[in-house]
Structure formats: structure tokens, C-alpha cells
């Protein structure tokens, strides 16, 4: 997800470009204003933390761009691509390392595990909003070499 600061700074295209350049397939995307209820569900694991209300306040402060990506190892790879949570500690070449500045404004959210991704995708997308399609370049990137080949 591109958070409100990424949307406000006009970085949606750059963030999408970086993930697509790794060969992952975008299967769902939508821009929305997050409700307090959805924000609370999304950050449910942090409910008892002192920073919870700040997370909810920030994610509801402006539009976000929710995305669903597909490909081998996509969750782990995107976590590496976005970089450390604190942009000041994120490696150069990562989204947060190159484009971020503050822990409280770190541009993107990426699921931390496949089970978390499944739960979060269920919050942000209805099943019919996730598309299954083939791209010509899939043969050249993630799908190659074919199994057994």
C-alpha cells in the first residue's frame, strides 16, 4: 500500500515501477480514503500499543493506494524492496531508503508474512477485485524456466 504521504508526494508511479521492475504482477489496485474502522482492523495487532492511535490517524489522513502483487516469493521480496521501517535506517536502493525521511511518514506498507498478506488482502479487496491474467513477459521473468525444464 502507498500510504498518504506517498500519495501526497506523487510517488505512487515510482513505487509501482520498482515492484513491477522486479517482475511481480500487479493483480489489484485501488485508491481510497481509509475509514477509521478499516484502519483499526488493518492495524489490529498494534491495538494495545501506545502508537496505535497515531497509526490510525495517519492512515486515515488522506487517500492511500492499496495494491495486490503476485509472484514467487513476493511477500519477502517486497519487504526487502521497501526497506527498513525507519527510512533513516533503510538501505540505499530501497523505497524507504531512497525516498523516505521519517519513521512516522514511511511511504508504504508491505505485509510481513504470507498469512498477514492473506488477511490484509481480505480487508482491502473483494475476491472479484483481484484479477488473474497472463503477461507476455511472465515467460521471461518469474515463470522461467518452466517446472521440470
Give the C-alpha distances (Å, rounded to integers) separating 46 from 32, 43, 49.
Answer: 22, 6, 5
**What residues are annotated to the active site?**
109
In contact, 28 and 37? CB cutoff 8 Å = no
95: closest CA among 103, 83, 85? Answer: 83
Alpha-carbon gap, residue 42 to 86, rounded angstroms? 19
CA of residue 45 relative to chain centroid, distance: 17
Tell me the three cell numbers of residue 17: 515501477
Amino acid at each position: 500500500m502507498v500510504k498518504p504521504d506517498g500519495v501526497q508526494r506523487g510517488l505512487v508511479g515510482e513505487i509501482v515501477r520498482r515492484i513491477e521492475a522486479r517482475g511481480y504482477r500487479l493483480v489489484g489496485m485501488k485508491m481510497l480514503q481509509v475509514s477509521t474502522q478499516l484502519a483499526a482492523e488493518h492495524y489490529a495487532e498494534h491495538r494495545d500499543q501506545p502508537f496505535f492511535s497515531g497509526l490510525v490517524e495517519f492512515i486515515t489522513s488522506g487517500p492511500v493506494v492499496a495494491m495486490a502483487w503476485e509472484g514467487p516469493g513476493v511477500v519477502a521480496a517486497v519487504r526487502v524492496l521497501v526497506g527498513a521501517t525507519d527510512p533513516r535506517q533503510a538501505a540505499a536502493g530501497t523505497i524507504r531508503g531512497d525516498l523516505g525521511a521519517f519513521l512516522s511518514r514511511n511511504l508504504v506498507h508491505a505485509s510481513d508474512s504470507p498469512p498477514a498478506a492473506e488477511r490484509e488482502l481480505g480487508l482491502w479487496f473483494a475476491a472479484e477485485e483481484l484479477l488473474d491474467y497472463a503477461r507476455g513477459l511472465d515467460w521471461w521473468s518469474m515463470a522461467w524456466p518452466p517446472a521440470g525444464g
